[in-house]
Amino acid sequence: MKEKSQEHGAKYWKSLDDLSETPAFKEWVDKEFPSGASELEGVGRRNFMKIMAASFGLAGLGMTGCRRPKQHILPYAQQPENLIPGVANFYCSSVPGMTANIPVIVESHQGRPTKIEGNPSYKPFGGATSTYNQASILDLYDPDRATTSSYNKSKITAYQVKDFLLSLKETSLESKGNGLAVLAEPSASPSREALKKAFKTRYPEATWTEYTPSQFLNTSKAAKAIYGFSVKNSVDFSKVNRILSIDSDFLSEGDDALAKSRGFTAKRKILNKDEVSKMNRLYSVESNLTSTGSMADHRLRLSVSQMPAFIAKLGIEIIRLAKVGSELESTLSAIASTCEIEDNWIKECAVDLYASKGHSVILLGDHLSTEAQALGFYLNQILSAPLALLEDKVSAPEITNLANSIKAGSVKTLIVLGGNPIFNAPADLEWNKLYNKIDTTIHLSYSFNETSAESDYHIAQSHYLETWSDGRTPEGHLVPVQPLIEPLFDTFDELSILSSLVHDTSKENYAIVKDTFANLGGSDFNQFLKEGILESISYARSSATVNIPALAELLKKASMEKVQLGLNNLELRFIPSFHAFDGRFANNGWLMECPDPITKLTWDNALLISPRLAKELESEYGVSIFASSTAMNEGSDFFKSVKGELQKNSSVFKRGKESAVIAQIEVGGKHLDIPIHVLPGLANYTVVLPYGMGRNLVGRVGENVGINTYGLRTSEGMGFITGAKLKTTEKRFYLANTQEHWSMEGRAIVREGNVDYYKKNPDFVNQMGVESHAPKNYGYKDDASLSDKSQNQYRGNSAYVHPKFNEPDPNVKVWKDKEELYPANQQWGMTIDLNTCTGCSACVVACQSENNIPIVGKDQVLRGREMHWIRLDRYFSAEKYTPSEIPEDVQVSFMGMTCAHCENAPCESVCPVNATVHDKEGLNTMAYNRCVGTRYCANNCPYKVRRFNFFDWNKREIGEFYKGPLGPVEEPELEKMRANPDVTVRMRGVMEKCTYCVQRIQAAKITQKSIAGASSETAVPDGTIKTACQQVCPNDSITFGDISDPKSEVSKMKASDRNYSVLGYLNVRPRTTYLARLRNPNKLMPDYYKKPYAYKAYKDRYGSSQSTSGHDAHDSHGDHSHSHSESHNDESHPAH
């Protein structure tokens, strides 16, 4: 500096400090250089060489063999419209159904549809979809789907198919369609309806038949008889307080099940005791144990053969109550004479239904007889049930008619549009033989199935996400089927085939659909596509009343014969498989692996039998069905004295695997060997056989899965058949069951209470379990608000303290000195309402679809390695718990169990590598990259919700896992396309679990930030984020949101006194809490229960000692007042 100052010329200084040459300024000048620059001065040549040599050496040592796989990213030459890489697009469409379409919104990433979600514009479904809808996207990327059409099993091009259709059209037009027949599946598409009409006019002599194995026509037959035309019911559940369901699984069966389920559970959303009065009551009479039965407040097991007598008896009671004349009574009492049910049950049920006249409804299973259906219509009319009769246009002849004409030789050409009649047509038609009698058979199907193999022409079908079509909702609103992607292969669809047969000039599907839209009265097609629904049109509502003489006439035809069921005369009931439905989803891995809500079976179908029948079979044939009893389930005094805590309650599990006895069932001279599964809640002598599994020409997934049971199903016994015999064999079969243990063991896991009890003891939920005796989790801060608790994590005397959530990170300088402006992090939490969960399992598949969860196959499920992030626990509880027996009458409790994002997560403290850590928003996150796979976290998780990648599930095919590097190691290209790019695909050796759909949270935050701009309105508004499970749930059982915001929906739910933490005493403080289940039994019913069985089991085992020990003043008090009121009731109602 001195030298410089001696220089000539003007001297410039930067500041006064410069001029005065303060040490601080000099230091500042020094520091101004980049930090590395000054340090470099200290490095000599030798040191530099040393360091470089060492690092080169290390690089050569460690890294030569490891290169990241080379991947090419090519930019678009022409950017498609509306496409931003990394940002998903959403389009409205609908999933075609038999009677109605399900409106959906499909998420698409760079042209690949990846996720289906319900369209919330359609209010009755509220954005919900079913398990099948969710899984249908997997079929699009099924590597086993038909990729080309074929003629006599050799491949043909799409042009050849078109040529063939043209020639078929020419020849058929000449013969006016003589000898031409179409066998289609029922469809809700008005465009197809229009084409069908056109087909009939162009080919007047051709026949059009519709068939699907799960459809029954008894309801429409009954309606025709008593109304004169076919109708279907549409129940307005918002007005219903009392429901009697007679063998109707209305919560899960049918294309409108979502609406029914949603409507039904809406009245079960009870936040506090004052809302209790809105709770509806469900009586369920059923032969099988279904989701509906599990929701019932009163459930009666009854064989299907007894149903008509039951309905008749009920009819008598209601007619008497309503005093509407006695002309039917004699007929009804003749039918009712065979009824075996306690009078009181029916009587009190009828009284209760009638007392809520105008607000009660009777729902009948579709498989029940025409007479029963007709009587059902009439009883609903007497009860003024809040239901609308929608005109229904079922007019196609039944498949038996088609069979007859084939037999008669009048069918020369048969076009089978979809479906798989060779597999699933009634067995007595012997469709296989009939089919080969036909000169030319053409089969349109999505995969090359049993029917395709027998057909001359097989035409590959497009997925509904690849084609234009339309459909109608249950009320008749119009919905589009909009393609999300060009057909991946040269495929056809129903509309294009029909169109090529009826139109002279080729007409694109798009034009057909647009025309239909215009013809139905739509105006703005683009708006229609945008909204995904046209509500201005709907089916006509009928105000017809029952023609009573016609009803009487019909009832006289009813069979009065009494069927005496027993071991040698069993009733065989057919139900569609939960996994494959009627067989169409047999190659869908998600559905195969999704446990059946009731049996918890995956990958198999089994014959369901009642515990009583199982015992009788044991004594009859000497083959033990239940695992041998041990000291633990003898019920000895010693074990009673230690509270009889049993691990081995009676079941068919051996070493953790369900070792099912194979039984031979014989009916109508046909035999079938099938494993049996003992299920409580079945009618004693009704055995339930799911159909749809056991396809023999199916893809890799469905191969050798399940047993084909269609061979026993005849056109006379599509719903059920009596006269079956069952004998056990010595053979055994492993069923892949995901839940071994059916009892809750009296633990306060699913907490239940009766409505009356809840009204008196609104806090009964939190007086259960160990936590009611343990110190408060939050200590002296226990009265703090949820918001306070969630943000200021009080951890007792723990050394480990969470950082404050409303402070910026230390490295965020922008907020320096402005902490007060820093927006507090939102705190995510969830509630699951056990009162509205019907166990439908849609959440399981939705989660699988959203989060790229792999399937693992039957073998791995048997080992207990299923990967589902949500587990739907199903517990049975009985009036009296005897571990040595599976009870006959049970109450079912469901509990969706997934990562609870504990605030004091036990998984985090044991991970040695920081792979699972908490974030500032309260999420327990998994850093897959960090995970080395010690699995300690999974061990320490009290909820057992962590899932480990034991193999490379994603890269290897099922069955190839054990081959390691010797097997193929790449996922088929087609399967890769379905993955959600927002979610990491996990490799082997890492742990995974529910993330609260963190990708959705982040997306919402980004969107919100861009909305907020410079303002601090960065908090995501409540309701914006919906986790995949929450989104799909028809009953809104799952609520997700910010618990630090007292106004959020989830905070309101958590404020409910039904809210509790499972295993709360562990002080893990789960962010997912549960709302206890309520049951609403009728005191006058003979099977009235004072406490739900689950609660009773808890009280019997853990409740009594606690109240005597005096810890539990509240509880014992509550119990006392409760029993007092009950004894009062006992006196006033001698009905007990």
Is the CB of 804 or the CB of 955 nearer to other proteins? 955
Is the CB of 211 or the CB of 943 nearer to other proteins? 943
CB of 900 to other proteins, least distance (A): 12
DSSP designation for 601: E
Is the CB of 541 or the CB of 741 nearer to other proteins? 741
CB of 1041 to other proteins, least distance (A): 26
Q: In 484-542, which ranges are E strands?
A: 541-542
Helix (H/G/I), strand (E/B), else coil: 506: coil
CB of 590 to other proteins, least distance (A): 19
Backbone phi and psi for residue 470, each to the nearest 5 degrees, phi listed first: -155, 180
Q: What is the DSSP string of 90-134?
A: EEEEEE--SS--EEEEEEEETTEEEEEEE-TTSTTTTT---HHHH
| Residue whose token pair is 């030319």 | 440
CB of 773 to other proteins, least distance (A): 8
CB of 859 to other proteins, least distance (A): 10
Is the CB of 91 or the CB of 943 nearer to other proteins? 943
Is the CB of 158 or the CB of 917 nearer to other proteins? 917
* CA–CA distance, 887 with 868 (Å, rounded to integer): 29
The torsion defined by the Cα of 310, 313, 319 and 323, in degrees rounded to 10, comes to -160
Is the CB of 415 or the CB of 646 nearer to other proteins? 646
Is the CB of 239 or the CB of 648 nearer to other proteins? 648
Is the CB of 997 or the CB of 1063 nearer to other proteins? 1063
Q: What is the DSSP string of 721-757?
A: EEEEEEEEEEEEEEEEES----B-TT-SSS-EEEHHH
Give the angle 972-977-983 at the CA atoms, nearest 5°: 115
DSSP designation for 429: G
Q: What is the DSSP string of 448-476?
A: --HHHHH-SEEEEBPPTTSS-EEEE-TT-
CB of 796 to other proteins, least distance (A): 15
Collect contacts of 1117-1125 with beta carbons under 8 A, ≥24 apart: 1118/757, 1118/760, 1118/761, 1118/764, 1118/767, 1121/760, 1121/761, 1122/757, 1122/760, 1122/761, 1122/1090, 1123/1090, 1125/756, 1125/760
* CA–CA distance, 647 with 883 (Å, rounded to integer): 9
Is the CB of 516 or the CB of 737 nearer to other proteins? 737
Nearest residue to 1041 via CA among 943, 949, 922? 922
CB of 736 to other proteins, least distance (A): 12
* CA–CA distance, 756 with 277 (Å, rounded to integer): 10
CB of 853 to other proteins, least distance (A): 14
Is the CB of 725 or the CB of 988 nearer to other proteins? 988
Is the CB of 495 or the CB of 867 nearer to other proteins? 867
CB of 1101 to other proteins, least distance (A): 8
Q: What tokens were used for 388?
A: 């609308």
CB of 979 to other proteins, least distance (A): 20
Please enumerate in sequence order all residues whose Cβ is within 8 A of that of 782, keeping only pairs 6 or more positions apart, or say none: 776
Collect contacts of 272-275 with beta carbons under 8 A, ≥24 apart: 272/762, 272/1056, 272/1057, 273/758, 273/759, 273/762, 273/1057
Query: CB 1106: neighbour CB atoms within 10 A?
Result: 18
CB burial class (10 A; 0-12, 13-18, 19+) of residue 334?
A: middle
Residues 755, 279: contact at Cβ < 8 Å?
Answer: yes
CB of 854 to other proteins, least distance (A): 13
CB of 678 to other proteins, least distance (A): 18
Is the CB of 368 or the CB of 945 nearer to other proteins? 945
Is the CB of 359 or the CB of 874 nearer to other proteins? 874
| Residue whose token pair is 């084609």 | 467
Is the CB of 566 or the CB of 864 nearer to other proteins? 864
Nearest residue to 658 via CA among 696, 603, 590, 729? 603
Is the CB of 120 or the CB of 906 nearer to other proteins? 906
Is the CB of 309 or the CB of 861 nearer to other proteins? 861
Residues 683, 303: contact at Cβ < 8 Å?
Answer: yes
* CA–CA distance, 208 with 183 (Å, rounded to integer): 6
Backbone phi and psi for residue 472, each to the nearest 5 degrees, phi listed first: -130, 150
* CA–CA distance, 138 with 587 (Å, rounded to integer): 10
CB of 1062 to other proteins, least distance (A): 8
CB of 632 to other proteins, least distance (A): 5
Backbone phi and psi for residue 685, each to the nearest 5 degrees, phi listed first: -115, 25
CB of 648 to other proteins, least distance (A): 6
DSSP designation for 166: H
Is the CB of 629 or the CB of 714 nearer to other proteins? 629
| Residue whose token pair is 């629904």 | 533
CB of 627 to other proteins, least distance (A): 10
Helix (H/G/I), strand (E/B), else coil: 210: strand
* CA–CA distance, 250 with 890 (Å, rounded to integer): 20
Is the CB of 444 or the CB of 931 nearer to other proteins? 931
| Residue whose token pair is 């960090």 | 930
CB of 986 to other proteins, least distance (A): 10
Nearest residue to 235 via CA among 359, 319, 394? 359
